[in-house]
Structure 1
Amino acid sequence: MIMLVHYNKVGTVSLGRSAFVGRNKRSALRRMANTFGAMRFAYCALHGLREKGVMALLVATALVVTSPAWAAGEDKIAVAYPDIGEPYRAIFEKIVEGIEDRANSRVVKYAVKPSADSAELKTALRRQDARVVIALGRQGMKAVTPDRGMAMVVGGVVTVPESEARGLSVVSLSPDPALLFARLKVLMPAAKRVHVVYDLRHNAWLMRLAREAARAQGLELVAYEAQDLRGAMQQYQAIFAVVDSRTDALWLPQDITTVEEGSVLPLVLQESWNRSLTVFSSTFGHVRRGVLFALYPDNVALGKSLAGLALGILASGNHGEHGMMPLRDVRIAVNLRTAQHLGLDLRRQQPSFDLVFPEP
């Protein structure tokens, strides 16, 4: 790091940006940094730049960096997140914590109420000169209407229609199938086939990824489409009629049509238990109810990843990867009672689990 030290006429020393040079000299130095870049300016400083009492000293022997507190022309990253009650408030606060950890002083936060005025928020974003907006949750996404030249990253949503996701970078709360299938093979090495029921309108993008991920793990993915509750029930009955519990497993994606909590899930859990069929899920709450395992978000790590996307956009000027992306910042929860019922010995692997049920 470079510190500028100003020796004034009476021999006292002042440190920091507010006192190291006079107004004119400060403006000149700032223009110099803008013109030649912070690294070239630091290079000059290292070689003993002196002009009318200004001396640059090297005060740390490491990489030369500029302090975000006084770097000229620093672009801002706005974060729009829902202003809602618990337990969801704590989740979004952790995501924001991760964003701030990664992006530091660039972050400007906006808590968005359901009645938020999009025009007012847009004016506020323009006033802050925000170049990238991270919108969290459906509420945050709906409130933001970015200006031309303002990129948008979305997180904390399960899915977005692919037509709406074009031109955006959307990190879903649906775990990456590659991570799910890799974990399945570790917990159930005999697995050869994975069954899944999904609604094409919500999860077509996820199934494309799932097919590739299954091939990579030597698994056969058998995907069944359903567009309503009745169709989903029929597909599950068809699955239960043909499964081999020794080598088959059932995946429950985040899908409001095919993994409906009131009637579909209880049926699936009961029939799977009766047949000793391994069921794994993309929803944390299902583990408590009896599925073998689920992957769920590491919220702070997710925030850091969202900030990384935003910083990448600022650095390159390129909006980068567009459309829906799966969640890769995950933790694992495992139901040990279900594992015992299935004849799986997970004692050696238990230290790697983030949460276990039943709780000790």
Structure 2
Amino acid sequence: MGALRRAAVVLAAAVAASAHAATAVPTTTELPAFPGDARMTAALFAFESGFDQLPLRGDVRPITLAQLEDQLRRPDVQASIGKGTIAVLYPNVDMPFRAAFISMIQGIEERTRLPVRSYPVDTRVDSAELNSTLKQNGTKVVIALGRQGLSATAGLDREISVLVGGVLLLSDAENVAGISLTPDPALLFARLHSLLPDLKRVIVVYNPKNSEWLIKLAREAARSQGLELAAYVAGDMARAAQLYPTLIAAADARRDAVWLPHDSTTVEESTILPLVLRETWNSGVPLFSSNVLHVKKGALFAMVPNNVEMGRTLASSAISLMSEPRKRGGNGLSPSRTLQTAINLRTASHVGLQIGYQQQRSFDFVFPQP
């Protein structure tokens, strides 16, 4: 059996910083880097958003099938093969992107008592060889992390169940089961309501190709919070750029807020985001986001997945699949519900919120730091 192709996707350059908003938005500068797990996930957002199209580097090697076969010879692995095992496929990428996946794997290993083996895969993995190795290893469930991990499952036999985690955007059409990096709108809206209880309406601009599944959840979440979700469709960036200034100018800063979902069309980082930051800052309309990176740039707050907890949740689902196997897929994508919250105190003050020390302690990350 030959080795997996040696080329590995690595990052030869740092992810370019998003463009600053206009100088009228002072909150877009002078904020420190995210600490710990939030920094890992912030990097992962950038990776999953498509900022990973960088040159290959030949001096980093993915795991080879010979190395996987060595694992099979371990006594604990041999004893477990008859019962079935769980495998984790994750992108073979450099730091800081790898760190987020490692945290998810930590959670998976903590939750399950079954043998779990993790395989870094590159974009040109030999699917047939991988499938053969996993079958020989007695794999019953694969947890695929990130787009790259998910892509590697394309050639797996149907009897191997697949769960996906650590992905940013998935449409209904992709028909997979697992957990998105996208925060649950219900938790976002609950936090919004706790901060600004007089708000009545949430304004969002979205592309149905990217976010229809999420907007369906958001409509239900808004109703449960006594909010109106005013959702506007923009099929391209030009339409989004037209909608935002009009919608924000007509908004009531005391009763309306703008939500930025994970949507590469309507929340494009270099043009659309600075526009929205500028317009909401100048009008005083609260802006909150599904992307923790936006808090550094001026959003009031955002929520970010706890990577270790996401791994634990995926592990629980994998254990259930071990006992009750089902077909891969099934439209079971869920938003992330194990979340941490970041807040921008400068923006809070700008919209009339005074966040005292005790209330600050209810947030996981506070910016700017003292």
TM-score interval, smaller chain:
0.7 to 0.9
Q: In 1, are the aligned partners of 2:161 and 2:325 still within 8 Å (CA)?
A: no
- The alignment's C-alpha RMSD in Å is 1.8
| 2:270 alignment counterpart | 262
| 2:89 alignment counterpart | 80
Question: Is 1:201 aligned with 2:201?
Answer: no
| 1:149 alignment counterpart | 159
Please report how far the alpha carbon of residue 87 of structure 1 lies from its aligned counterpart in structure 2 after TM superposition.
1.2
Please report how far the alpha carbon of residue 200 of structure 1 lies from its aligned counterpart in structure 2 after TM superposition.
0.2
- Which SS does the other structure have where 2:120 is aligned? strand
In 2, Cα distance between equivalents of 1:247 and 1:284: 23
Question: For 2:229, which of 221, 237, 241 is the aligned residue?
Answer: 221
In 2, Cα distance between equivalents of 1:223 and 1:286: 20
Letter of the aligned partner of 1:359 in structure 2?
A: Q
| 1:162 alignment counterpart | 172
How many residues of Structure 1 are paired with residues of Structure 2 in the alignment?
292
C-alpha distance 83-232 of structure 1, shift in aligned 2 (>3 A): same
Q: In 1, are the aligned partners of 2:201 and 2:257 still within 8 Å (CA)?
A: yes
Question: Is 1:330 aligned with 2:339?
Answer: yes
Please report how far the alpha carbon of residue 73 of structure 1 lies from its aligned counterpart in structure 2 after TM superposition.
3.3
What TM-score do the two structures reach when normalised by structure 2?
0.76
After superposition, where does 1:338-349 map in structure 2 within 5 Å? 338-347=347-356, 348-349=358-359
In 2, Cα distance between equivalents of 1:72 and 1:334: 47
**Farther-moved stretch of structure 1 (320-329 vs 153-162):** 320-329
**Farther-moved stretch of structure 1 (291-300 vs 144-153):** 144-153
Question: For 2:238, which of 230, 240, 244 is the aligned residue?
Answer: 230
* Structure exhibiting the larger radius of gyration computed from Cα positions: 1
Question: Is 1:291 aligned with 2:299?
Answer: yes
Question: Is 1:138 aligned with 2:153?
Answer: no
Letter of the aligned partner of 1:281 in structure 2?
A: S
Q: In 2, are the aligned partners of 1:68 and 1:105 still within 8 Å (CA)?
A: no
Question: Is 1:129 aligned with 2:138?
Answer: yes
C-alpha distance 353-282 of structure 1, shift in aligned 2 (>3 A): same
Please report how far the alpha carbon of residue 68 of structure 1 lies from its aligned counterpart in structure 2 after TM superposition.
10
Letter of the aligned partner of 2:113 in structure 1?
A: N
| 2:109 alignment counterpart | 100
Please report how far the alpha carbon of residue 105 of structure 1 lies from its aligned counterpart in structure 2 after TM superposition.
3.9
Question: For 1:111, which of 109, 114, 120 is the aligned residue?
Answer: 120
| 2:186 alignment counterpart | 178
Please report how far the alpha carbon of residue 318 of structure 1 lies from its aligned counterpart in structure 2 after TM superposition.
4.1
Q: In 2, are the aligned partners of 1:99 and 1:306 still within 8 Å (CA)?
A: yes
- Which SS does the other structure have where 1:349 is aligned? helix
| 2:68 alignment counterpart | none
**Farther-moved stretch of structure 1 (232-241 vs 209-218):** 232-241
Greater fraction strand = 1
Letter of the aligned partner of 1:158 in structure 2?
A: L
| 2:285 alignment counterpart | 277
Please report how far the alpha carbon of residue 147 of structure 1 lies from its aligned counterpart in structure 2 after TM superposition.
1.1
What TM-score do the two structures reach when normalised by structure 1?
0.78
| 1:303 alignment counterpart | 311
| 1:350 alignment counterpart | 360
* Percent identity (aligned): 48
C-alpha distance 120-280 of structure 1, shift in aligned 2 (>3 A): same
Please report how far the alpha carbon of residue 327 of structure 1 lies from its aligned counterpart in structure 2 after TM superposition.
0.8
Question: Is 1:188 aligned with 2:196?
Answer: yes
Please report how far the alpha carbon of residue 287 of structure 1 lies from its aligned counterpart in structure 2 after TM superposition.
0.2
Q: In 1, are the aligned partners of 2:171 and 2:211 still within 8 Å (CA)?
A: no
In 2, Cα distance between equivalents of 1:195 and 1:111: 40
Letter of the aligned partner of 2:341 in structure 1?
A: I
In 2, Cα distance between equivalents of 1:105 and 1:313: 13
C-alpha distance 111-68 of structure 1, shift in aligned 2 (>3 A): closer
- Which SS does the other structure have where 2:343 is aligned? strand
Letter of the aligned partner of 2:157 in structure 1?
A: D
Q: Which runs of 5+ in 1 are unaligned?
A: 1-66
**Residue-by-residue CA offset, 1:158-205 (whole Å, 9 max, x unaligned):** 12232222xx31311110000000000011111110000011001000
C-alpha distance 313-197 of structure 1, shift in aligned 2 (>3 A): same
